[in-house]
Amino acid sequence: MTSTLPPLLQAVSGAIGSASANALTYPLDLVTTHMGVIAANKILQHIVSRYGISALYDGLSTDTSATLLSNFLYFYVYSYLRNFMLRYRNAKSSLSLGNELLLGFAAGVASRAVSMPLNLITLRLQTEKQEAVDDDEDEIPDSRPPATDVLSVVKLIYSERGLLGFWRAGFETTILLSLNPSITLAFFQFFLRIKRSNALKPSAKEAFVGGAISNSIAIALLYPLILAKTRLQASNRQSSLVTVLDHASRSRTLYQGLDMQIVKGFLSQGVTFLIKERIEQAVVNMYLRRRSRMASR
């Protein structure tokens, strides 16, 4: 994350690392989504018994696409702005915590604005089947069949909210949640500065542990907003951030699902940072070997 490598390389390595981590932890993401929308026990067992193991990966394709797009843009914008600021200030590799937060927030807003429609589609794919189950249990007939594929979900969202509805639902919360990767990166760099004097080349263990702990801190700080965003996007009713947070506070569910979210974030961000750093290191090693062979001729 403190790398001064070209932004394109950082964007590609970050996107690959994020997509890999997303595929690995996707069932946990599905569970945390359901825990944010409903109060349920043994959600994994319920989903598997009702729909089979494949249901644990409902929405994986759109979520992976959103992850690739969002993280490619995030790491590209972040590394570009960071390299620019380092050159402008004639700094070697270090910026203040405030500057790191500001750069991360700007990059987060840019990436989330582009990927938000895909995130909304993924969330609706994850929750549509559960709504159908709830209707069956409550013996309330539903006027429409559940939307269980991408095209039907897109049509459903468009019919409910129009074109701008792909961005309107929970947009203000999404902007605020751009602080999540910002806080994660800031704490990650702080972690590296504590662990070693040269933070440009963290070891595999440092990349995983640093990324996992940093993301866990960010999630713990921002979880009420994460919960509110999930509920705003999952609902087909118009509501506001303040209303959702007030309802969650009154019903004592403001931190419902926090433990699973931290577990998922710990694994996901740790794997993301680990793979990203390893890809960058592999590219650097290839470049150095090529230079060495050319120099020996």
Q: How far is residue 138 from each of residues 133, 146, 253, 275, measured CA to CA in Å?
A: 9, 16, 22, 45
The DSSP result for 202-255, as a single string, is --HHHHHHHHHHHHHHHHHHHHHHHHHHHHHHH-SS---HHHHHHHHHHTT-TT
The CA distance from 29 to 26, in Å, is 5
Task: Report the predicted TM-score, pTM, of the whole model to 2 decimal places.
Answer: 0.70
Identify the pLDDT of residue 140.
Answer: 47
* Residue 138, burial from CB neighbour count under 10 angstroms (0-12, 13-18, 19+): exposed
Identify the pLDDT of residue 38.
Answer: 53
Identify the pLDDT of residue 37.
Answer: 54
Residues of the chain with pLDDT under 70: 1-4, 31, 33-47, 91-93, 128-148, 168-170, 196-201, 234-238, 297
Identify the pLDDT of residue 1.
Answer: 46
> Is the distance from CB of 271 to CB of 17 less than 8 angstroms?
yes
> Is the distance from CB of 123 to CB of 202 less than 8 angstroms?
no
